[in-house]
Amino acid sequence: MFITNNLFKRTISNLRFRQIKIYPLFNKVMILQEKQQRDIVINNNSSPNKTTHLERTSNLKRQELRIPSRIVEIIQETPTVKTFKFNPISSTSGFSFLPGQWLDVFIPNVSIVGGFSLTSTPQTYEKTNTFELAIKYANHPPAKWFHEQANIGDEVNVRVGGEFVWDSLKEKQDRTEHVMFIAGGVGINPLISMLESICQDKLSDKNEEKSFIKKVVLFYSARNFNELLFYERIEGLNKQFPKMLECKYFLTRDDPPHGNEDSEFYYRQRINKKFLANVIKKEKIYLERLKCFLCGPSAMEDDVIKWLKESDVDEKRILFEKWW
């Protein structure tokens, strides 16, 4: 993503977890090959200035341990995204994470450390001893290695980090009962972990110690249907929790099928101010118990944050993960 000097303050601010400060976007932001990974930054005049995932997240919390892990399964999710399932090599590794966190990934013979969001849940890890990353193809070395060289049985070291999380204990303290997830492209990655974790708590906890969430809405924007990551997985959750979960999909480059009137799909449309304003209007009486989580292209996030605030959502209840 191109960043100019005028955006320096905004960039530094966005590294502070939950310190939501919005700076005017004076320059157009472009995404090279739609790199929704957080791996490489180049400025607007194509100078050689680059920052790495480790540099951009240096002031964010991360665990100290690097956990040796082995690839046990590879799944082609979309034409450009593969899911890699891992098994920690040692059963006493001490590996743990919260929904929404990412991994520093140390790949043998690759000098650059990758940074990828976990797309599975802590509950699934406890049951299966596996965790997952969904990685979009890019020319950047870590993503390129996964797509072109990685095989089942290959080993990497991983380290958990990140502060954009779903923490059920904290959310209960915050009296959160309604949740809004807003995703753009592979910004769905940390959000699918959060969404699935909420649903798993709902299934397993009959005493509502963790299953206190009453309503979840997901607004997910992608270029076309083939790029909707985890669509079947999301719809499976939708069928399990039809009263709690509502999903809307925005396909910005797809035309509607002839005669299609399915209200859950919005064709040739982006998530916009009017749409969000109408949704928030319906949620007015729940604003003090609504929490919004968003992850997507930087320009999209800036717009959505602005629109949510203009709809009277408290900025402290708007949490986001910045792409770089």
Domain boundary among 161, 190, 214: 161
Are 178 and 236 contained in the same domain?
yes
Residue 7 lies in a domain: no
Are 152 and 280 contained in the same domain?
no
Domain boundary among 98, 133, 161: 161
Total domain count for the chain?
Answer: 2
Residue 293 lies in a domain: yes
Is 91:129 a contact under the CB 8 Å cutoff?
yes
Are 84 and 210 contained in the same domain?
no
Residue 287 lies in a domain: yes
Residue 1 lies in a domain: no
Residue 32 lies in a domain: no
Are 97 and 149 contained in the same domain?
yes
Three-state SS at 216: strand
Model confidence over 223-269: pLDDT tens digits? 999 999 999 999 999 999 999 999 999 999 999 887 655 679 999 99
Are 141 and 62 contained in the same domain?
yes
**pLDDT confidence band for 206 (50 / 70 / 90):** low
- Answering whether pTM is above 0.85, one says no
Residue 43 lies in a domain: no
CB neighbour list of residue 87: distance below 8 Å, 6 or more residues apart: 69, 70, 72, 129, 130
Beta strands across the sheet bearing 131-136: 114-117, 102-106, 155-161, 67-78, 81-88, 131-136
Is 118:190 a contact under the CB 8 Å cutoff?
yes
**pLDDT confidence band for 93 (50 / 70 / 90):** confident
Are 202 and 253 contained in the same domain?
yes
Are 193 and 268 contained in the same domain?
yes
Residue 22's closest CA among 321, 315, 323, 317?
Answer: 315
CATH code where residue 292 lies: 3.40.50.80
Model confidence over 259-297: pLDDT tens digits? 655 679 999 999 999 999 999 988 888 899 999 999 999
Are 151 and 88 contained in the same domain?
yes
**What string of DSSP letters covers 92-153?**
T------TT-EEEEE-TT--SPEEEEB-S-HHHHHHHS-EEEEEE--SSHHHHHHHHT--TT
Are 224 and 115 contained in the same domain?
no
Model confidence over 34-83: pLDDT tens digits? 333 333 222 223 333 467 888 888 888 899 999 999 999 999 999 999 99
Cα Rg of the chain (Å, integer): 19
- The residue range of the domain holding 287 is 168-320
CB neighbour list of residue 264: distance below 8 Å, 6 or more residues apart: 247, 248, 249
